[in-house]
Amino acid sequence: MTNLLVLKEYLKGIYGKYEIYITPVVKFLLALITLMMINGKLGYMSRINSITVVLVAALLCSFLPMNFMILIAALFILLHLYAFSAECAIVVLALFMVMFLLYFRFSPKDGALVLLTPLCCTLNIPLAMPLSAGLVGTPASAVSVGCGVVIYSILQYISESVGTLNSMDAESAMQKYRYVVDGLLNNKTMLVMVFAFAVTVLVVYLIRRMSMNHSWTVAVMSGTLAAVAILLAGDLMFDTNISLVSTVIGAILSIAIVKLLQFFVFNVDYSRTEYVQFEDDEYYYYVKAVPKITVAKPSKTVKKITTQKKNAAPPRATGSVIKKTDKSGMKRV
Amino acid sequence: MLNEERIRLMTKMAAYEENEGRHNMAIGNYFRSDYISLQMIKSVLSATLVFAIVLGIFAFYHFETVMKEIYQVDLLETGKKFLLAYVIFTGIYTVISYLVYSYRYNRARKSLKKYYSHLQELSELYEDDARR
């Protein structure tokens, strides 16, 4: 445990020093994975289905704001769908517009959740997102996660029914359109997942704010249980074909990931080096403010309990007790 | 002479101005009523757009039925129904956005108050310097 805490302090130090490089690299990787997954799943437009285009787009995303990455991802999805069938593209565009206008106008910072939720769903660790959102976010994050699930479901639905859509005539545009809208509105699996994830976010959020020991762990566990229970109940009620084994394995993996994140990311104040400039009447200041690093090493306290005088109270204990303490306890936020 | 205490304070303030402060200052430039009403107008506009999109999707979905029955249904009655739905939808959305934005305005004001107190402190430091 002590080693882990020292490692955490060390990572904090590295982040504080090299934040200016680390953030773009992380963003680049995130964009690369997202776009490659979109291409792998949809890949209908050959022009953007090449690694060069993906690399250029990811490079752009690495130094532009997070929301630009979402815009690029949405654009990729729409272009692929348009190349496949214009009806699909119209429905998905309408869906994106509604989400943007109703919700993301309020909380533009939650965009990352919408991007990461489909990613986690594809990687079969869908619970990681609602659990993390409940731990660090607000109850409103439930809506973001829900939007992410809706996007994932509609894309999954379209990519699964490519054959059906292809077999429809080009003239029966109406039929295709109806098929896609039906897939969006009558998708029981999606509804069950949205409900389960929203409940998870709320459960985790409410429990982690309680004043009890290990509230974060309890929150993660009860959130996971709630989600699995709802997913399975939904499976029984609506016959949604949610597999028990993969749900449970995914849930366990998600817990592991969230615990790891909790230790290294959520509870830690990753303050970074700030570069600021300002002036007063006399000077121009170009300030580089570096956060102080304190790697606390475990210290030993030696406490001696000995009986010195004879004929004093009968000896109770002799010898010494070595007590190990570490100063770098985790701070609860 | 360089005054270290002053530089520390100014650095903190500059970092605030660059990060979360930028957003708060944009809000702080408005009066409360101006800010909230501007945001509510935006909300009404986006709710209207969303309603139009949903209506369009719905109409296109039932395109044949709509085309067949357009001359038979009581247009005034249907129009009233849609209008009612629109008013209810926009109303609820606008109320929610009112709550959200008034909360945000208060939060930004609170955060700016701290900033202004730092500003005050800074000007006192300068005065001290001038006296010396």
- Highest mean pLDDT pick, A194-203, A246-255, A314-323: A194-203
A278 at B interface, C-beta within 8 A: yes
Burial of B15 (0-12, 13-18, 19+ CB in 10 A): middle
Is residue A283 a part of any domain in this protein?
no
Phi then psi for A276, rounded to 5 degrees? -130, 155
For residue B91, the one-letter residue type is G
pLDDT at A293: 62
Closest partner residue to B53 among A98, A285, A289, by Cβ?
Answer: A98
Total domains present in chain A: 1
Residues of A in contact with B89 (CB under 8 A): none
Measured between CA atoms, the residue of chain B closest to residue A285 is B7
Is residue A298 a part of any domain in this protein?
no
Strands A274-279 and A299-304: unpaired
* Residue range A119-147, pLDDT digits in tens: 998 888 888 889 998 888 888 889 999 99
Q: Closest approach of chain A CAs to the CA of B53, in angstroms?
A: 7
Q: How many beta carbons lie within 10 A of that of residue B50, not counting itself?
A: 20
Residues of B in contact with A105 (CB under 8 A): 42-43, 46
**Average pLDDT over chain A, rounded to an integer:** 83
Structure tokens at A224: 């996971």
Distance CA B63, CA A327 (A): 70
Q: Are A9 and A43 in contact (CB under 8 A)?
A: no
Is residue A319 a part of any domain in this protein?
no
A20 at B interface, C-beta within 8 A: no
pLDDT at A170: 66
**How would residue A324 be classed by pLDDT, with cut points 50, 70 and 90?**
very low
Contact B10 A283 (CB under 8 A): no
C-alpha angle A16-A61-A93 in degrees, rounded to nearest 5:
135
**How would residue B39 be classed by pLDDT, with cut points 50, 70 and 90?**
very high
Query: pTM score, two decimals?
Result: 0.80
Domain carrying residue A111: 2-274
* Residue range A257-294, pLDDT digits in tens: 988 888 877 776 777 778 888 888 888 989 888 877 66
Q: Which of A9, A56, A10, A7 is nearest to A32 (CA)?
A: A56
A288 at B interface, C-beta within 8 A: no
Measured between CA atoms, the residue of chain A closest to residue B58 is A181
Phi then psi for A230, rounded to 5 degrees? -65, -40
Domain boundaries, chain B: 4-131
CA B63 to chain centre: 37
Closest partner residue to A97 among B18, B53, B61, by Cβ?
Answer: B53
Q: What is the DSSP letter of A101?
A: I
Contact A102 B61 (CB under 8 A): no
**How would residue A11 be classed by pLDDT, with cut points 50, 70 and 90?**
confident
pLDDT at B112: 92
Residues of B in contact with A106 (CB under 8 A): 97, 100
Mean pLDDT within A213-235: 90
Q: How many beta carbons lie within 10 A of that of residue A265, not counting itself?
A: 14
* Residue range A40-88, pLDDT digits in tens: 888 888 888 888 999 999 999 998 988 889 999 999 999 999 988 888 8
